Each structure stands twice: as C-alpha cells, then as structure tokens.
Amino acid sequence: MSVSAAMKTAVSGLVANATAVARVSENIANANTIGYKRSFADLVTSTSPGIGSVSGVQARVGSEVSGGGAINSTANAMDLAVSGTGFFVVSKTPNDPLLSNYFLTRAGSFRQDENGYLVNSAGYYLAAFEIDADTGTLGAVDRGGFGSLSSVRLGEMMLPAEPTTAASVSGNLPAQESGVAIPGAPFLSSMEFYTQLGNSENMTLSWQPTTVDNTWDLTLTDSTGRLHGTVEVVFHNSGATPGAPASYALKTPQPAGASGIILDAATGTLSLSVDARGDELPITLSLGVPGSYDGIQQFVGDFTPQKFKVDGSAQTALARTEIDGQGNLTGVFDDGRRKTLYEIPVAQVTNPDGLTLIDGNAWTVSRAAGDLSLQAAGSGKNGVIVSGALEASTVEVTNELTDLIRVQRAYSSNAKIITTADEMLQEVTNLKR
C-alpha cells in the first residue's frame, strides 16, 4: 500500500468514526425522548476493486427499532405505551386521505387538540378502528393496511337520548295497612322515564290498601295527568312464598277516563302508552312474577321507598374514557352508560429494524420492513396497551459516553495516520533538494 493509499484509508476512518460520533450525539440528545430507539453506526471494511485487500472502512447506520424501553407510569390516562412488540398507528392530519401519510410510532404521549382529536407531542394523530355506533361491533376491517382506520376523536362527544321502553319496580308494602275497616291514604311513589327527545317525565304509582287482607289497588297516572288505570294486586299470606305477589287482575270497572292498561297476569307485566309531549310512548312495567320476590312485596313494617330500574336516558356527555390492554377505548358517560368507541390496534411488521425513521420519532413502512398487519393488542405475539404510561428511550447514557471515548480514540488515531503520512510525503519531497 502506498503512502497516499494509507492517507485515503485514514480519511475513510475519520469519516466513519465521525458518523459514529454523530450517532452517539443523537442518542445522548434523545436520552429522554419518549419511545426513542437507540441508533448506531456499524463499521465495515471496504476494498478496492480488483485488488482484494482492505482499503478503508465504511459506517452503516441503523436503529434498534425492535428493542423496547422501560414502561413508566404517568398521571394522564391518555398516555399510552405498548408493553411488548408492536406500534401505534398515527397520521399526519386527522383522517388523512393519503395512506402514505400514515406512520408507526411508540411515542404515545397523546392529548386532545382544539378539535377533540388525540395527537401526540410530535403532532401526529392517533388512528384506530371505529366501533359502529348502532351495533356496538367492529365489523369488517382491513387489517393489512391503513384504509379502515379513523382518527380518534373524543371532544364534546354526546350520546343521543334513548326513550324508556321497559321498567321494573321493587319495594315493600306494609301488610298491616290492608284489611282494615277504614283503609288509610294511598302510598305514592314516582318513576322517572324518558321520552323520545330525552325529556324527563314521571309516572305516579298510587298503592291504595283495601278492606280485604293482603289486597291493594295500584293506580297509574303520568305527569301529563293521564290516568292509565287500576290493577288489583293480591299477596300471599302464607305458604312457600309469603309476602310475594299471588295474583294480578284489572280492576272492574276501571276508573272513569282511564286510557287503558294491558295486563299479563302470568308475568306481572303492565303495558301502557304515555303521552310523550304529543307522541305516544309505549312502556312495559314489571311488578314481579307471582310467587317470587323479584318485584313488589308485602310484609309487616314500613313503606320503603320503591326502587325502579328504567332503561332509556336523556342526551348525555362523555365524562371520561378507559383503555384496556386489548386497545378497547370505552367512553363512560355522565349517566353511567358505557360504550366502546374505538379499537386501537397494534401494528406489526416482519422486520421492525427495516422501518425508515422520519421526523417526530416515527417510522414509515419500507420494503425492507416487510408486510404490515394491524391486530388486536394482547393477541398472539402482539404487545398489550398500557394506559397512563409511556415508554422510555432505549438509550443508556453511560454506554454512550463509553462508546464516545472509544470512537474518539479511533478518530484521533486515524488523524495521526494522516499527519504521519504527510510527514513521510514531505520527506520524499525533500529528496529533490
């Protein structure tokens, strides 16, 4: 090898080790970057064509994308981490129409923006599969690409009002009040229900004790003043189910002006229609199956406030969200209703280390990465999603500083070769004198 060739080899060593220093610098700078994957520069030999001997060195740059950092808890439920393998899918803009603008990341520091979308610190929007609002199921989605994804948006999410269709009542009627010569005043209870537009209305249940032992007359009236009718309720005095309903029967004759009740005596269910601000709303009210204690009862004691189970609700706002390990994002609303809104998938590629790094600590899916798959978290080899946590950088600063010392010495040695080669060339030049 000539002196000039030695100098060129040393120059390649300077360039390669400078690249390695740059990688160390990047790692130290991102030691506290959420979800950052340590980068590195592997030095490999290079040869001159036709000679077959080593003539220098090259730096091949890569990242340890497949490695995982420590999972650290936070106080924000929207902070997300993948414990195990896989990535979050994010997009450059909400519901971006260009599939090339969808990326993979492990940086899950999500917050709501001014429009209610979940966006991370790099400005990328979290993408997920949206659950059908009507069926509550995911349906058919493309798990081999980004086409079925939607940006996760919470914002001012509201659930529409749902009218009441079914209700049930339970409680105790004082047995000592029935069967007296002059019965006392009726016991009243009020059942709240909801109309088609979410208006809150009330149904009044009037329990009138009669002069017959264990027999009561139940009269129903709604908040519009509509009288629906009266049902005779008889309770068991003894036997296997004392205090439980024995039978139900429509009172004959019904009160004047009653709109009518349909009674299923075998199940203790009343069917009636209420005036819902001009529209008729059918409701079924269960009093309890005869011979059971699943509804109204009669025992000696006090009249206890009756409890009602009523479906339907007014329009209600989102109170908070919960995300489980399988990536199901569930909304908890002000009225207590829970509804699964999104499935946050975990993205997998055949070769994570083949992904192409871009700004914002994200990667694009390159050919070297292999096939893409969007699967449910926690299934198969997929990692689970941890809410209220972030993945730390995979950089260990002490290791980087040690590498920096090693690379610096190699750089200095290559520089010394150049100065030595320069002195040797100078000696050759001096031979002419």
Q: What is the pLDDT of residue 218?
A: 97
If you average pLDDT over residues 298-314, what whole number do you get? 92
If you average pLDDT over residues 256-266, what whole number do you get? 93
Judgement on whether residues 233 and 250 belong to the same structural domain of the protein: yes
Q: What is the pLDDT of residue 322?
A: 93
Tally the residues of the chain: 433
pLDDT higher at 310 or 61: 310
Determine the Cα–Cα distance for residues 39 and 65; give it in Å rounded to an integer: 8
Residue at 329 is within a domain? no
Q: What is the pLDDT of residues 62-76, one digit of tens each?
A: 778 888 889 999 999
Over pLDDT 70: what percentage of the chain?
97
Among 350, 365, 386, identify where a domain stops.
386
pLDDT over threshold 80, residue 278? no
Judgement on whether residues 80 and 60 belong to the same structural domain of the protein: no
Among 368, 386, 404, identify where a domain stops.
386
Contact residues for 283 (Cβ-Cβ < 8 A; gap 6+) = 164, 165, 166, 167, 193, 203, 271, 272, 273, 274
Over pLDDT 90: what percentage of the chain?
62
- H-type helices in 314-396, by residue range? none
Among 353, 369, 386, identify where a domain stops.
386
Q: What pTM did the predictor assign? A: 0.73
Judgement on whether residues 296 and 171 belong to the same structural domain of the protein: yes
Judgement on whether residues 174 and 251 belong to the same structural domain of the protein: yes
Q: What is the pLDDT of residues 202-226, one digit of tens each?
A: 999 999 999 999 999 999 999 888 9
Residue at 240 is within a domain? yes
Q: What is the pLDDT of residue 326?
A: 94
Residue at 146 is within a domain? yes
Q: What is the pLDDT of residues 70-112, one digit of tens each?
A: 999 999 999 999 999 999 999 999 999 999 999 999 999 999 9
Q: What is the pLDDT of residue 52?
A: 53
Determine the Cα–Cα distance for residues 133 and 130; give it in Å rounded to an integer: 9
Judgement on whether residues 404 and 380 belong to the same structural domain of the protein: no
| Amino acid sitting at position 122 | A
Determine the Cα–Cα distance for residues 168 and 309; give it in Å rounded to an integer: 5
Residue at 333 is within a domain? no
Q: What is the pLDDT of residues 180-197, one digit of tens each?
A: 999 999 999 999 999 988
Q: What is the pLDDT of residues 222-241, one digit of tens each?
A: 988 899 999 999 999 999 99
Residue at 69 is within a domain? no
Token pair belonging to 372: 């893409």
The count of structural domains within the chain is 3
Token pair belonging to 113: 């923006």
Determine the Cα–Cα distance for residues 317 and 203; give it in Å rounded to an integer: 25
Judgement on whether residues 419 and 369 belong to the same structural domain of the protein: no
The Cα-based distances of 276 to 253, 392, 430 in angstroms read 27, 56, 110
Domain enclosing residue 87, as ranges: 76-156+338-386
Judgement on whether residues 99 and 145 belong to the same structural domain of the protein: yes
pLDDT over threshold 70, residue 51? no
Judgement on whether residues 92 and 142 belong to the same structural domain of the protein: yes
If you average pLDDT over residues 309-321, what whole number do you get? 91
The Cα-based distances of 62 to 30, 38, 352 in angstroms read 15, 9, 11
Judgement on whether residues 206 and 282 belong to the same structural domain of the protein: yes
Contact residues for 249 (Cβ-Cβ < 8 A; gap 6+) = 231, 232, 234, 263, 265
Residue at 100 is within a domain? yes
pLDDT over threshold 60, residue 404? yes
Mean pLDDT for all residues in the chain: 90
* CATH assignment of the domain containing 230: 2.60.98
Judgement on whether residues 21 and 126 belong to the same structural domain of the protein: no
First-to-last alpha carbon distance for the chain, in angstroms, is 26
Judgement on whether residues 92 and 47 belong to the same structural domain of the protein: no
Judgement on whether residues 150 and 130 belong to the same structural domain of the protein: yes
